[in-house]
Structure 1
Amino acid sequence: MTYIADNIDVAVIGGGHAGCEAALATARMGLKTVLFAISLDSIAMMPCNPSIGGTSKGHLVREIDALGGEMGKNIDKTFIQSRMLNTGKGPAVHSLRAQADKRRYSQEMKKTLETTENLSIKQMEIVKIHVDENKKVKAVETANGAIYNCKAAIIATGTYLRARCFIGDVVEYTGPNGLKPANKLTDSLKELGIKMLRFKTGTPSRVDKRSIDFSKLEEQPGDEKIVPFSFENDSKSIYREQISCWLTYTNDKTHKIIKDNLHRSPLYGGKIEGIGPRYCPSIEDKVVRFEDKERHQVFLEPEGENTMEMYVQGMSSSLPEDVQISMLRTLPGFEKCEVMRTGYAIEYDCIDSTQLRHTLEFKEIDGLFSAGQFNGSSGYEEAAAQGIVAGINAGLKILNKDPMIIDRSEGYIGVLIDDLVTKGTNEPYRMMTSRAEYRLLLRQDNADIRLTQKGYEVGLISKERYEKFLEKKRLIEEEIERMKKTIVGVKPNVQEFLKANNSTPLRSGISLLELIKRPELDYYKIREIDPNPRDLPDAVKEQVNIQIKYDGYIKRQMQQVEQFKKLERKLLKEDIDYLSIKGLRIEAAQKLNKIKPRSIGQASRISGVSPADISVLLVYLEQLNRKKELDY
């Protein structure tokens, strides 16, 4: 028996990282929002690695923060170790990563949800999406028969849909961490005509800290200077004592145990239907695929300040429990390790993401949005990034405003979403710096400069924060201009400074800006000879240094972006029947009809659409435009 429980604006289905960002976005936009979770104890849960950020993922977190999201603020409150990765390379690939106290991370996010105006959270399983005769979302239904009438719904079910966990021969119909799965919603989605896929991911064992001999492991301390994820924080405000992580390696004994027991792996025994992530393989997969490698890195990471559980990064496995224990005990320092939680593989239902628009709304169902692992991606950060975009666009749709689309030249979020909706994915999609064509422009340090304006326009960035952002931009521009105008001559102190830094001495006056461009010098060093150095915030100094040093590369990439934008501005209507366009190959027309690209630029990125097909489309558009002119 069903009953009407409430009339709301937005229903968010799932309380993971995607659901949290989506619900906070719509609620902060003034819309009555309810977030439904299988368990309120699973809000923002970290069932796998207890960390936020990392290579390319740190970029996503900074972009979420620039838009007005919560992930960066939440990890700044709850981290136990912080490190900047790839500092030996250029700033385009610098990535912040923080180890989280996973329980506190979840608790803090839950508290934020509970104290946000216009937002309610409910422990309920959603089993059905109701649509009207026009395929427009009108309600969601819980397992208990409660109907919540809504104007939009956002699906962010993570790995819960028809979830199965595997440990060797043991198969349990359960969600992550032993939580209840969501078994009924898939049927409702199929009834709506949504194409479903089956993916798989996994997690390693957790071991008891007291059973590890740390004298045999290499210590991995955090950075002395802590860099915050949120642009609203600074190093001093979030400073705390950090907890070390540790490094060890697999060896011949480890690999032998794995190879001898491959026949007991559900991955190799054919029990798992789902497709796993190529870029985050299980240890048995690594040993098989990289047989020439003598050892693999294994990081031991604390799960929090008030627990003995430690996460064994690099040892994800679905081998039987006895095999997992045996292989772990071959690692240096793990000889007497005790396993507190056994590693497992989990498979789950997700969608073919090419059914979505760039707004993350389903093309065929009005008002139905989706985000996170349900869209075929992997990772907390990828999920949260999609969550905030889905939330913003659901809100804008209800408010009758234009959608917010971040393109590939504006952010890693744009790359992530464009890849999913244009190319789709046949495995859990992971963000990587190599996927971003314009990564020199899309650095984590300038995410606020790129995206704060958008966050302010949709109402997620406060006026106070926006004014501080404008002040930061002004200071950067003024300081770069000052560097350009400040000339230093051939004075003894200048020549001595250059000599000390192995830099060519001067024959005539030169601007500080030109000196900064020298490979051996930078903005911080030249302050020694700056006649009037200014006391500026660290974030301003960083931007001044990067923008000056990489000026030539940045300008070149901006020219590439302008070419990209030209094709993005050539818009295509959704109702075009590409099979009717003469000159298009059948394969290309079929792919174009499936994806329904919004622009020539997007069409050019569809697999199976050739440059010759794009030429045909350009001619077609030109003919359409001429016809319009004649009609006028």
Structure 2
Amino acid sequence: MYPKYDVIVVGAGHAGCEAAHAAATMGSKVLVITMNMNTIAQMSCNPAMGGVAKGQIVREIDALGGMSGIISDKSMIQFRMLNKSKGPAMWSPRTQNDRMRFAEEWRLALERNPNVDFWQEMVTGITTSGDRVTGVTTGMGIQFEAQAVILTSGTFLNGIIHIGEKQFGGGRTGEAASKGITEQLVSLGFEAGRMKTGTPPRVDGRSLNYQLMEEQAGDEKPEKFSFSDETSPLQQQRSCYITYTNPQVHEILEKGFDRSPMFNGRIQGLGPRYCPSIEDKINRFAERNRHQIFVEPEGWNTVEIYVNGFSTSLPEDVQYEAIRKIPGFEQVKMFRPGYAIEYDFFPPTQLSQTLETKLVENLFFAGQINGTTGYEEAACQGLIAGINAHQKVTQQPEFILSRSEAYIGVLIDDLINKGTNEPYRMFTSRAEHRILLRQDNADLRLTKKGYDIGLASEKRFEQMREKQRQLNLLINDLQQKKVDPELANPMLEAHGTAGIQHRTTLNKLVKRPQLDINHLKEIGPDYANYLNKYDEKIIESADIHIKYEDYIDKEMKLAQKMAELEDLKISMSIDFSQIPALSAEGREKLNKIRPSTLGQASRISGVSPADISVLMVYMGR
């Protein structure tokens, strides 16, 4: 009765949508099963994409041929490039989005793909034959068959919502929790754990006094996420606002601590360290008398406001009393209170680098089920799981990104080798090669890879090649062209940097911290006319390359050195417990994680450099 699919994707959040889009675009017949067709790609928490390190991930998804960048551009109401005062490795794009339009654009994108089918129902388990997945079973007892299954269950697995002393089952406010999957996977030998996350109250923007807040406008020259010409930068933007808590707010919140599920032991799961609740902040940073609150509109036309920075699971009456003491919130009307949610996850050391589980063949996990937090982290896992599910069922080579190729590679490598006992969030500091992994060059790094596997279009590939050609041309020209002192010195002195004594190549001037390539236009009309032929993004990328050339070369050599270890394959048949020279912890961790290369083994927490030397000797190296 029901068709057999190549890939079934369970869940239609950020991970599920990217997984379905990737596998279907590459040619697999995909079934997306979701508990609610009306909440596909729901922004469950804040209505924003990107941010520090997360913006780089969205650019990488886009470069590979994923959709998160395009969907974000089509639904954005504000764009900001964060960390512009720091080095280019830290620059991170971020959009404020229209929550309803974001979900709509994702649904329409999936519906336009002829290889994607939908089914609305709860999945209660997987079906297997031996140690291989064969499909899924739903709450109504329907069995759908597939060659591969991707679980992207978000916060729904045995989800419990906490508001003060009240608790009830749910994967999101107003939506039921998912039952059955955890219990079945545990019976198959999987290890499960509990995590928690939270969300702040939503309020009526008409009841706020913005005069008492600081306006936070978008960039004067807004950019966008996608490298494609499918989207355009915003012509107009909506502002966000900043206000602060105060001692009075803290005092009211502290009165409710005895009724807080976080402090009275009802919540067992570990929460995100880097996005703590307001009660956690007051408790951990008792010396601070105020905390920042970001007032974020939920869209172009809605009055709903997201109160970023006020995530809480305190009783709703305490939330309401405290929030009214924040400047600008004196007359606030609340749409719904904040809450915490506890849910099941599976430690990601049980996965291979393709995000396929080690215990059940052709079963993939992506998103919060792996212990991560954040839309971007979920989306990139969905993308990689979707690609690899397609590659597996079509007997194509697995698709893996290294730590020196992408933040996506860093994230997956961290998860499978180190695991996580708290919700994992990406930071620039997690990437040792971050000067190589900038947001501006994600297409140059990854679009060919996306094109080669049939995900990025030929048009995208040709656009990338043209960008690379122009970039090389500009960099080479600036290395060759020289300027005379009498022409250059007035410009140099105007920008507070020493004049030159002899004819000098232009790239040497660009290396100076006081200057960038655009300053060369001030030398004279010939220079201005020449540089005006280039797109502003090409000029920016060339500027970064010239200024950071030595650092980039050094990082590339380091990455190549590490790649040599990645080439040293470890046989899957090795029993590490039979190598007595390894440390006890090393033997235990290596047998548990089963690394496929010496490079992967070197990054496992608890495996020492001495253990790697022993392995090299054992492997005849």
TM-score bucket (shorter structure):
over 0.9
Question: Which segment is superposed worse, 448-457 or 528-537?
Answer: 528-537
Report deviation, 1:161.
0.6
Report deviation, 1:478.
1.0
1:347 to 323, 335, 342: 342
TM-score normalised by L of structure 1? 0.96
Taking the aligned partners of 2:274 and 2:489, their CA distance within structure 1 comes to: 50
Report deviation, 1:260.
2.0
Report deviation, 1:574.
2.3
Question: Which segment is superposed worse, 72-81 or 258-267?
Answer: 258-267
How high is the sequence identity, in percent, across the aligned residues? Answer: 47
Report deviation, 1:572.
1.1
1:499 to 493, 498, 515: 493
1:520 to 514, 519, 523: 514
Secondary structure in 1 matching 2:185: helix
Taking the aligned partners of 1:29 and 1:268, their CA distance within structure 2 comes to: 48
1:434 aligns with 2:429: yes
Taking the aligned partners of 1:257 and 1:424, their CA distance within structure 2 comes to: 38
Q: Deviations over 1:140-160 (max 9, x none)?
A: 111112211110000000001
Taking the aligned partners of 1:308 and 1:37, their CA distance within structure 2 comes to: 28
User: What residue number does 1:206 align with?
Assistant: 202
User: What residue number does 1:281 align with?
Assistant: 276
1:83 aligns with 2:87: no
Task: Tell me the amino acid that sits aligned with residue 432 of structure 2.
Answer: E
Task: Tell me the amino acid that sits aligned with residue 213 of structure 1.
Answer: N
Q: Which runs of 5+ in 1 are unaligned?
A: 624-632
- What pairs up with 1:464-483 in 2 under 5 angstroms? 464-483=459-478
User: What residue number does 2:134 align with?
Assistant: 138
1:218 aligns with 2:214: yes
Report deviation, 1:459.
0.5
Secondary structure in 2 matching 1:276: coil
1:295 to 278, 282, 290: 290
Taking the aligned partners of 1:238 and 1:280, their CA distance within structure 2 comes to: 29
1:331 aligns with 2:326: yes
- What pairs up with 1:226-625 in 2 under 5 angstroms? 226-233=222-229, 237-491=232-486, 493-529=487-523, 531-532=526-527, 533-534=530-531, 535-622=533-620
Task: Tell me the amino acid that sits aligned with residue 49 of structure 1.
Answer: N
Report deviation, 1:304.
1.2
Q: Which runs of 5+ in 2 are unaligned?
A: none
Secondary structure in 1 matching 2:173: helix
CA contact (8 A) 1:47 1:177 kept: no
CA contact (8 A) 1:77 1:238 kept: no
Task: Tell me the amino acid that sits aligned with residue 54 of structure 1.
Answer: G
Report deviation, 1:244.
0.8
- What pairs up with 1:141-220 in 2 under 5 angstroms? 141-220=137-216
1:8 aligns with 2:5: yes
Report deviation, 1:233.
3.5
Secondary structure in 1 matching 2:89: helix
Q: Deviations over 1:571-615 (max 9, x none)?
A: 212222100113011211011000111111211111111111111
Taking the aligned partners of 1:124 and 1:549, their CA distance within structure 2 comes to: 54
CA contact (8 A) 2:77 2:234 kept: no
Taking the aligned partners of 1:267 and 1:302, their CA distance within structure 2 comes to: 28
TM-score normalised by L of structure 2? 0.98
User: What residue number does 1:630 align with?
Assistant: none
Aligned residues: 617
User: What residue number does 1:629 align with?
Assistant: none
Secondary structure in 1 matching 2:63: helix
Taking the aligned partners of 1:574 and 1:229, their CA distance within structure 2 comes to: 40
Taking the aligned partners of 2:85 and 2:426, their CA distance within structure 1 comes to: 21
Taking the aligned partners of 1:5 and 1:167, their CA distance within structure 2 comes to: 41
Secondary structure in 1 matching 2:136: strand
2:62 to 58, 61, 65: 65
Report deviation, 1:234.
8.3
Taking the aligned partners of 1:619 and 1:474, their CA distance within structure 2 comes to: 45
Runs of 4+ with >6 A deviation: none
Q: Deviations over 1:293-318 (max 9, x none)?
A: 12110000001122211000000000
Taking the aligned partners of 1:30 and 1:556, their CA distance within structure 2 comes to: 40
CA contact (8 A) 2:78 2:234 kept: no
Taking the aligned partners of 1:196 and 1:619, their CA distance within structure 2 comes to: 36
